[in-house]
Structure 1
Amino acid sequence: MSFHTKPGVPSFINHLQPENDSDPMSIFPARIKGSLIVFALALFLSSSLVSASTYYVATDGNDGNSGTSTSSAWKTIQHAADTANGGDTVYVMAGTYNEHVSITKSGSSGNYITFAAYSGQTPVIDGTGKVGNWDGIIHISSANWIRVAGLTVKNSAWNGIMIDNYGGSRASNIIIQNNLIRDIGYTGLYAENSDYITYDGNTVANTQTNGNGGPAGSQQNENVDMIGVNNFEIKNNKIYATAHFESIDLKIGTSTGSVHHNDISPTESAGIYIDAWDAQSGNIDIYDNYIHDSSNAGTRGIAIGAEQGGSAKYINVYNNIVANLAATGINIPWYSKGTVDNVKIINNVVYKTDTLSQWAGGIGIQANTNGGTTTNIIVRNNIVSQNGVAQISNGIGSSATITNNLIDGSGGVTGSNYVTGSPQFVNAAGGDFHLQSSSPAINNGISTDAPDKDYDGKSRPQGNGYDIGAYESGGSSACTPNWQCRQPLDGYEHDANNCGSADRLNSACNAPSTCTPSWKCESPLNGYESDGCNNRRTNSACNPPPSGTTPPAPGPLPPPTSSLGEAVDNTAFRWTTVGDADWFGQTSTYYSGGSSAQSGKIGGGQSTWIKAKATGPGKLKFHWKVSSEPDRDILKFYIDGWQQSKISGDVDWQEKAYSIGPGIHILKWKYSKNNRVSSGSDAAWLDKVEFIRMP
């Protein structure tokens, strides 16, 4: 970990004590739940006291407008931030905003100022040339009751979204939700000396691109940071393809909170790291995270330390899945100068970690050789399977309690009441770590310290005893879904009880609109039509007429006659086609259902694409086919502008599958030609597009 805050800014860190010295796990994990219930009740009671307004921002707006409708939208998000008050919502419409947004105005208790993407649109804040040192594209400084949701934030020489006390007081009650943060020099999500901070459903990628260089000339923090933060929650985020350093770092006295249901592929160092540094950190639950798939040296799953003499105490690590990493899965390292105490590592799956055999195995409790102490560590009900060096290593002797684990592999210690053999996962290679019915992990765990729910939210136990590992075998969840509209409104509802049900469409949850679409050809004719609500699409009826003919008068047009949704067996997505020719539905070539979408006829140097939006997290599958000049005319698939795969030549129907992270993502299939030579049918096809939302 590298610790850097803005020079001259005090820490104001509140050094908290454990809530129950005799048995902190007696409130595990009710501590977090109870505080959230009280907080939600207070929010509910106060929310009706403020008269709220709704404002709009559009790239073709004007800051001299009223901002109260899409037709009178403001032009800049900064103007909205300077104007909005507690309870107000600012909807940002599609387009790219080359801005630095400074938020210093606060909402009031329970009345957030919300900055959100307009329903169904994906606005981009591009910080190119706008972000100076110790700053972020969005910078929330000493403000309270702020929510930022559904935006793409990219291209910063320093940070992405930044929360701090640089205005003189601690920021508090900030929600950063369902955003895409990418292409950032240093930290994607940064919070310092603040309280009640939530990161929920964000995707963070290609951050820390400066590494040990950039404007600072050295490492500046990590990819997702909490520094001196009290009362926090980091949940449902996807963090991948980062350039350097820890994925999530909770440091310098960060206390009282949880990290859960995140999907993390670390690039360097730990996926989740608690480093008290020289302060006191504690009362933190890390659970239901999936940390996986990195072959880079040093990539660990979860690590806990106090590098410069502080203390990390009362940490609960449970129901996590840590798999396929080059270094230790769950690690209490050797290099702390301070104290690591009262850590419980319970009901985790640690599979094929330390593959380079350079660290401490699956679960590694290392002897401290740097002047610190490690005491009262419990390792119980974990599956440790096929890890390098050791399944469990223990360098602190009787200061560790190791019981009721399943050991599958050689090296290290076993502890007491252990079982051995293959855990018989359903499909470990495919990332499914549920247990087959004959697994030796079933009924061989112990109730002591076991969480009351498993990774799926299923109650423990289900059989004659508690199972070992993150999943409880058998039975079904007794959880009853509580469906509520997602906030800010985006057309979906979610299960507020987190029973494992995917979010689902509900028109009652659509964002309010003051605009009625009326599709007309743009003038002069250019192949596009617009609806008067900042939406446009291609339409061949709007193409310019051939030279020497009289153009038709622009007027209302019906929707395109071909149904791309029906052609690809997915009418849940809103499909659009853009480029030099439109994709279209046809019935002569298909994988299933009697139809597919086919690329339009294009010439040399031209391209055509079909695209849709998906709200994750979820699993995407589709079938595609191409008949083209090999290595010259190519069908490519993109997620959020990043190429995922491509095919060229004569390729029959292939199935592709991808995991989609939380938030709104753009899916695009693009067929392009690089010269005028044609081969085969000179076309591409798409069919059977399936998207299953995950909890």
Structure 2
Amino acid sequence: MKLSVNYLSQTAGATACMVLLAACGGGQSDSASQAPGMTLAATTQVSDEPAADASYNAAATALYVATTGADSNPGTSAKPFKTIARAAQAATPGTVVHVAPGVYEGGFRTSTSGTPTARIRYVSDTRWGAKIVPPATSANAVAWDNRGSYVDIDGFEVDGSAHKAGTRWAVGLYTAGSFGTVTNSHVHHVGQGACASGGGIGADSYYKGASNDVLANVVHDIGAAGCKTMFGVFVNSADSDVKNNLIYGVSQAGVQLWHDAARVSVSHNTIFAAHTGIVVGGGDPYVSSGVNDYSRVANNIVVDTQYGVVEQGNVGSNNTYTNNLMHQQTAYPYLLIKGVAVATIAAAPQFVNYVRTGGGDYQLQATSPAIDKGAAADATPTDLNGKARPAGAGPDIGAYEFNGAAPTPTPNPNPAPNPVPSTPNNLYVSTTGSDSNSGAQGSPLRTIARASALAKPNTTVHVAPGTYAGGFKTTTSGTAAGRIYYYSTTKWGAKIVPPANSSNNIAWDNRGNYVDIIGFEVDGSKLQGGTVWRSGLYTGGSYDVIRGNRVHHIANTLACNGSGASAIGVDSYYKGIKGDVINNFVHDIGPANCKYIQGIYVSTSGSVVGNVVYRVSEAAIHLWHDATNVIIANNTAVASGTGIVVGAGDFYNRSAPNDYTHVVNNIVYDNRYGITEQGSTGTHNTYRNNLVYQNSIYNISLKNGLKATGTVSADPQFVSYTRTGTPDLHVRASSPAKGKGTTDYAPATDIEGKPVTAPVTIGAYQ
């Protein structure tokens, strides 16, 4: 981080309203003009946190926060705090505050400062695992208001979508100290009510803050439609960096510099679907002359906006604009007062999959004109994904560095978790749609079932974020050359829940062939009436893929009476073959100790790869009926009745044993039983390089004289393990799972999209 500062401000043609400012002046035109001044108003009503607790051990260097904790605890790993605000009270320079995955109420303030040599770090131990949401009755307009200096906020999700009552959030992450960073965070759906003044991430000079950096964040869906005073990232001070961010769906500017902004570096951002890409401006100063000079805008992609890069207000003659890719501006790519743009690329960036509303893949194709065209002097050492930059002859423009041609898809059961490809046919589903609509992007359908009825081979069904009633069936098939993709445009943003009066026992019953179901959340926790769900995602077709979903709280209230149930089911009953279950999160399935309810249940050939499964009544992963030739690789299965069952019996369409199944690189920990063969099994199954530990009855039990090889019998050393809360099942650097896997049958990438290369780490995370 250089000497820098962050700010809050306004955009081209926007009224200059600061985040914590009430008195936003009148509307502003769409032309780029100087914004009028602003006055600070205490609209956020953020209450000060209590004074630091002097009784706390000042020598502590690590504090812990978990949803299962209590603020009366000492903040240790074993006895964590409940809130981030309480941890801030106890923090001293040099403290790292570890925040476990879970949902935390926002609307709080942190004020404790670090020092230049002993920073304070707030870290979500799982990236985006610690999620900050509006409280039941919100009293503050800022989700997280940081006033401390030398503070890092790293890896949180701030989700303002579920506003309940009280003050709507106008700002997600706000920092008014100095020499701070906001990194690796996901801030979205902020300022979605009436037009407010604020933005997703803000750094402000009102309290004399300076030198704050905003790095490698994803910011989207900021501001109500047409609101001219909401920004993706706003910076109001000098000497800051805004780099490697992906910003889209913003009602005004993606990046806005104002007030005391000067000497700000804005580079390697990818911005689209905003009114204006980047505003470089100054005015209404708090601590300076209010002239923005010596700022540099380089190596950015700005696409699909009205204005691209705009100078506004008081600017000097030494701002520079170089090596930016500007495309699809309806007004002007540049509108500069004194600056001059050089080395501009005016061409489509060629994203892998551009979806204006989000959920696409905004990395670069091999033929992109942005590759190797960035200015080396402005290059960041890594990109948004943490990949080294440059990877080629020069740095690439935008937030992502191209690291080689996309791999040729490998045959299942090891398919790379590539984003949904572009298909010639597209249908759109939204909670604001109607099933009498056409299904076009501007005329979306209301239900997934209706989209299925209209779909044909080579169709992508784009499902917008929102809550959808489950209990439906999809029957349309794709082909080997033209699959049908059901795709949640925001991962886990399209949420399937029980309807008001449930009449079906399956949340989503798919009977189509060559179908992919990608990125949905299926939540069976709140039955409103009628039939209890026995299955979350079920497919009875052939060559289907269930990938990247979160399925939880299924069959929890069922009577344990011998009837089967599962979170994800791939079934041969309707003569389906070859199903793949990849990179899903499955948890809290079935009532305690019921042996008939499974997590992932497969009765065909195919694969179960890269999944995280915990708290399942019986088996986390269970093969039965006609199952054979299945790859079970790189899964993490914990806190269940059994980790992995390989078996066959009660046949539907065949009578041969389960044979040629390969179980490799899995972590099976803290279950009653570990890995077991049951029923009819063959002699060609293999069990290699699995970490199997602390399963209370036995770790491995095989038939036919088979022996497991390469087994690791040791504590996996998860980052944060709990049987009752939300565990973080990443493994620590010292884990015995590190580098002990086999490359045979390993997937191309892990559950987070990270490459799986030798030496392979056992489990779902690399």
Of Structure 1 and Structure 2, the greater strand share is in 1
**Which structure's residues are more often helix, by fraction?**
1
Under TM normalisation by the shorter chain, which class is it?
Answer: 0.3 to 0.5
TM-score between the two structures when normalised by the length of structure 1: 0.47
